[in-house]
């Protein structure tokens, strides 16, 4: 029984998107598809212990779910001749022979449709694509279950009412729509990285973001940004275990124990980045990944290739001017040219970042390096920070 549950869990986590994606195409709605999928899971629970585990569990679940849906449709038709009919012959057609179906992509693009709010896109993607339960989503985002459930129901209604075409966007539309999908992946990853309140990391969310990123890479193998984002997530995951000390205090990159970074995960990042470089054009996530790669491969903080990092920041800022990116760039300025140069670079960022705690924390660091008393800046940073681990970190700085 335990083994059966493990198998089913693996299928739900690994292949739900493909099965549900195929079912939406056939049944016409995410709700009906998820219902049929649940029915198939129940059937598996009763039949597999008797018949043995099928060689291809995902295929078995897809076929069973389709049969269940067909039976349900027949039943509905008998009950009411006026009920909308499902194209029955379409439903019983065999699996498409090409092993790469667009079903998963259609499903992902629909869940991340810009007609929905970003929060809703995230919830729907976690639920429908990644197989999270409402309870798990609620826990991950520290929201009440009821709120999450309502959000998902509303999203499904919006999709049904707006009659969104269930399709992969055309070439021309793709960049914009893909940006919206990647924003969802990035948000899932980032939510796992630093939560707004409470504890610091939720590794499972980061792992899920990585899994979704890999899936997207397989589905869109020539899109540089997909690989850039995957690399960025991999480099971050590789350092996850060293981001805090035994007491749970936040550690800076310069303080982390590099020998404990996850090397196979760094290799994942490097390979994804190499692929991204071969696809056209440096873009936002690719350049962020370039910076992360410099850190991941440097033997020490001081031995980091700061001039390469500076070049990547300059390209990044030329593409997308952003005060937060400019703020991060000052770290590389400080390492390459010293704290006085970093303070000069910071000066023009005070206005746009006046409410951002990290601006004051970083200015305090550079001032302290120059021998100044920077307690006022640390205190301003502390007053603006909301994350427990970050607040604790700033408190330690003030005491030092």
Partner 1 sequence: MPQYMLMVTEDLAKERERTPGETQALIEGRTAYEQELRALSVFLDGERLRPVSEGRRVSTRDGAARVVTGPFAEATLSGYYVVQADDLDAATKLAERCPVSPGSALDVRPLMKGSHNPEKMRQPGRVFGCAVLGNAANEPAWVDIMDRVDASSRDNFPTDKMCGGVRLHAPSTGRRIAATEGNQRAIFDGPFLESKEVIGGLFFLRMQTIDEVVAFAMNADFVRHGGVEIRELWRS
Closest to 398 (Cα-Cα) out of 380, 315, 388, 131: 380
CB of 227 to partner 1, least distance (A): 7
**Do residues 70 and 22 lie in contact, with contact meaning Cβ atoms separated by under 8 Å?**
no
Residue of 227, 359, 366, 393 that binds partner 1 (CB under 8 A): 227
Residue of 33, 107, 217, 312 that binds partner 1 (CB under 8 A): 217
253 binds partner 1 per the rule CB under 8 A: no
User: How much helix, strand and coil, in percent to the nearest 5, is found in the chain?
Assistant: 70, 0, 30
**Do residues 317 and 330 lie in contact, with contact meaning Cβ atoms separated by under 8 Å?**
no
297 binds partner 1 per the rule CB under 8 A: yes
178 binds partner 1 per the rule CB under 8 A: no
Residue of 8, 58, 183, 336 that binds partner 1 (CB under 8 A): 58
CA-based torsion, 196, 197, 203, 209: positive or negative: negative
| Minimum CB distance to partner 1 smaller for 86 or for 178 | 178
221 binds partner 1 per the rule CB under 8 A: yes
Residue of 178, 220, 382, 394 that binds partner 1 (CB under 8 A): 220
What is the footprint of partner 1 within residues 266-285 (CB under 8 A)?
A: 266-267, 270-272, 274-275, 278
Residue with tokens 């499903």: 107
Query: 26: buried, middle or exposed (CB in 10 Å: 19+, 13-18, 0-12)?
Result: buried
Residue of 100, 115, 318, 340 that binds partner 1 (CB under 8 A): 100
| Minimum CB distance to partner 1 smaller for 107 or for 137 | 107
Residue of 219, 343, 353, 362 that binds partner 1 (CB under 8 A): 219
Tokens encoding 189 = 């990853």
| Minimum CB distance to partner 1 smaller for 234 or for 346 | 234
352 binds partner 1 per the rule CB under 8 A: no
DSSP state for residue 168 in the 8-state scheme = P
29 binds partner 1 per the rule CB under 8 A: no
247 binds partner 1 per the rule CB under 8 A: no
| Minimum CB distance to partner 1 smaller for 4 or for 160 | 4
**Do residues 21 and 100 lie in contact, with contact meaning Cβ atoms separated by under 8 Å?**
no
Q: Checking phi first, is residue 145 left (phi over 0); if not, alpha (psi -120 to 50) or beta?
A: alpha
CB of 155 to partner 1, least distance (A): 26
Whole-angstrom Cα distance, residue 285 to residue 83? Answer: 48
Closest to 377 (Cα-Cα) out of 386, 387, 364: 364
| Minimum CB distance to partner 1 smaller for 154 or for 214 | 214
The SS3 call for residue 250 is strand
Interaction site with partner 1 (CB under 8 A):
14-15, 18, 55-58, 97-100, 217-222, 227, 261, 263-264, 266-267, 270-272, 274-275, 278, 293, 296-299
């Amino acid at each position: 029984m335990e083994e059966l549950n493990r198998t089913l869990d693996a299928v739900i986590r690994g292949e739900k998107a493909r099965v549900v994606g195929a079912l939406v195409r056939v049944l016409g709605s995410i709700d009906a598809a998820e219902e049929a999928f649940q029915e198939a899971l129940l059937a598996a629970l009763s039949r597999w212990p008797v018949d043995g585990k099928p060689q291809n569990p995902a295929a078995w679940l897809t076929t069973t779910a389709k049969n269940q849906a067909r039976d349900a449709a027949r039943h509905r038709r008998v009950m009411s001749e006026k009920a909308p009919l499902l194209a029955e012959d379409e439903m019983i057609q065999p699996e498409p022979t090409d092993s790469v179906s667009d079903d998963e992509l259609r499903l992902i693009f629909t869940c991340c449709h810009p007609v929905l709010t970003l929060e809703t896109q995230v919830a729907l993607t976690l639920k429908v694509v990644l197989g999270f339960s409402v309870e798990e989503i609620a826990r991950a985002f520290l929201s009440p279950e009821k709120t999450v459930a309502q959000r998902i129901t509303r999203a499904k209604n919006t999709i049904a009412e707006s009659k969104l075409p269930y399709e992969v966007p055309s070439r021309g539309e793709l960049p914009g729509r893909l940006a919206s999908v990647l924003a969802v992946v990035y948000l899932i990853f980032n939510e796992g990285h630093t939560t707004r309140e409470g504890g610091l990391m939720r590794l499972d969310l980061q792992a899920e973001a990585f899994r979704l990123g890999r899936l997207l890479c397989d589905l869109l193998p020539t899109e540089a940004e997909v690989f850039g984002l995957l690399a960025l997530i991999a480099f971050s995951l590789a350092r996850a275990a060293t981001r805090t000390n035994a007491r749970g205090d936040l550690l800076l990159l310069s303080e982390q124990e590099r020998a404990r970074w996850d090397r196979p995960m760094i290799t994942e990042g490097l390979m994804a980045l190499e692929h991204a470089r071969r696809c056209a054009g440096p873009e936002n996530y690719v350049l962020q990944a370039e910076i992360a790669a410099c850190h991941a491969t440097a033997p020490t903080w001081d031995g980091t290739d700061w001039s390469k990092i500076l070049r990547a920041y300059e390209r990044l800022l030329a593409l997308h001017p952003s005060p937060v990116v400019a703020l991060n760039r000052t770290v590389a300025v400080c390492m390459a040219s010293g704290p006085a140069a970093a303070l000069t670079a910071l000066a023009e960022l005070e206005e746009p970042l006046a409410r951002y705690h990290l601006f004051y924390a970083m200015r305090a660091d550079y001032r302290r390096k120059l021998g100044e008393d920077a307690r006022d800046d640390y205190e301003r940073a502390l007053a603006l920070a909301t994350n427990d681990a970050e607040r604790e970190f700033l408190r330690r700085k003030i005491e030092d």
